[in-house]
Structure 1
Amino acid sequence: MSALSWLNSEAFTVFDQHIVWSDMIGNTMGLIALALGWRRSIWTWPTQFLSGAVLFAAFAAGHLSGSAGKQVVVMLVAAWGWLQWTRGRQQAQDGSLAVRFATWKERGALLGAAALGTAAVTGLFTLYPWMSWNPLPDAYIFVGTIVAMYAQAKGMVEFWFAWLLVDAVGVPLAYTSGYAFSAFVYVVYGALVVWGAYDWYQRSRTTTPATALEGATA
């Protein structure tokens, strides 16, 4: 059996739900990456990259184009985020980065990009049905992931809420498509998001706006 075949094979069954190895391993790594992001550790990025690679194998095998595309975005932005945090001028010695709240202008830009991007990708998926069985939610997940990870790479506290909004749609979609382990992970994600958002909020209050912005744009 090849490694790819093993990843997409059944690990066990719980409450008549078949748990696939790739779904379980990828989501567990995603949780670790989120926890590392909470601690502002630079190792969040390689962990997210590996998580994306494993989940890409899972969703591609299940013909979930939007979710699979999301993992490609995760890997690309993880590589970019690694560079952003590595080069950050205000990066702490423990490998973390100064965090801040986005400006109202940045929030508007993120929301506008999310809305326009979702509409455009939904149109693409609708025009080419083979790319997605669920055009709107798949497009929402795909674009929302880009927005969330961009905000994370820039050290914006709002990234936590963006991730929660993405997972609120992505996890139920994955569950109904046969990836039940995601449902369990969603509960843990929710707790980490709340704690992480609070921690970043507290840290953002100890950094002056000018300093945070300087570090975020490095």
Structure 2
Amino acid sequence: MNWTLSWTEVLGFATGALCVWLVARQHIANWPVGIANNVFFIVLFTQAGLYADAGLQIVFIALAAYGWWSWTHGGGPGAAASLPVRRTTRAEWLLLAAAGAVAVLALTLLLDRATDSTVPFWDALTTGLSLAATYGQCRKLVESWWLWIAADLVYIPLYASKGLYLTAVLYVGFLALCVLGLIGWRRSLPAPDARTPAGAAA
């Protein structure tokens, strides 16, 4: 079991790092690579007792399919072939905040009462942040990088506390890649959008 877990963590490390690098470069291959990463992490997190994170990977696979379609079809019939980077609207922020708060509360209660999780709130919090960030990534919302940065700052000590040291190191790398991704995506913003008050950075 230890040998399997070790190789699962190594493969999760490799596919995860490649996926974030591809996202930062707006490369469409990030989606299939990300799906492979999700499969490795389902096994890894289940064995570590991080049940919300394990279940989150299944949701990520579904979101990856949507994101893959969204990036290649511009988000809908008749839309541009390539989805442009844009800023998150106020309405989207309100929706993400409300949905995230409900998700974190519900998951915290579920994990506390129905599992042997020792970190129900932190597991739920990273899940909520990651879901919001992934939705933003699917729609190429530049502020999705801020949500990933917030999630990574919690993930790093959480994984280290569970003995997943390689994964914790991976998330340190994710944090650096997220900063680079944020910078790169902000440079891709159309100049007029970048100057509007509604497009103020998070």
| Normalised TM-score (structure 2) | 0.86
How many matched pairs?
190
Out of 123, 126, 151, which is 2:112 matched to?
Answer: 126
Question: 1:38 — aligned with what?
Answer: 24
Structure 2 residues not aligned, in runs of 5+: 195-202
Q: Residues 120-156 of structure 1: CA distance to partner in whole angstroms, max 9, x if unpaired?
A: 11111122133x3311011112222211111100110
Q: Residues 175-210 of structure 1: CA distance to partner in whole angstroms, max 9, x if unpaired?
A: 11111012222222222111110111111134759x
CA change 1:145–1:108 in 2 (3 A) is same
Question: 1:53 — aligned with what?
Answer: 39
Out of 4, 7, 14, which is 1:28 matched to?
Answer: 14
Write out the 4+ residue segments of structure 1 that deviate beyond 4 Å after TM superposition: 206-209
Question: 1:181 — aligned with what?
Answer: 166
Residue pairs, 1:146-157, within 5 angstroms: 146-157=131-142
More helix by share: 2
Question: 1:192 — aligned with what?
Answer: 177
CA RMSD of aligned residues (A): 1.9
More strand by share: 1
Q: Residues 23-82 of structure 1: CA distance to partner in whole angstroms, max 9, x if unpaired?
A: 222122111111111111111111111001011111112222122122222222112211
Structure 1 residue 90 and structure 2 residue 80: aligned?
yes
CA change 1:126–1:146 in 2 (3 A) is same
Structure 1 residues not aligned, in runs of 5+: 9-19, 210-218
**Contact 1:7/1:58 (<8 A) preserved:** no
Report % sequence identity: 30
Out of 81, 84, 99, which is 2:67 matched to?
Answer: 81
**Contact 1:91/1:98 (<8 A) preserved:** no
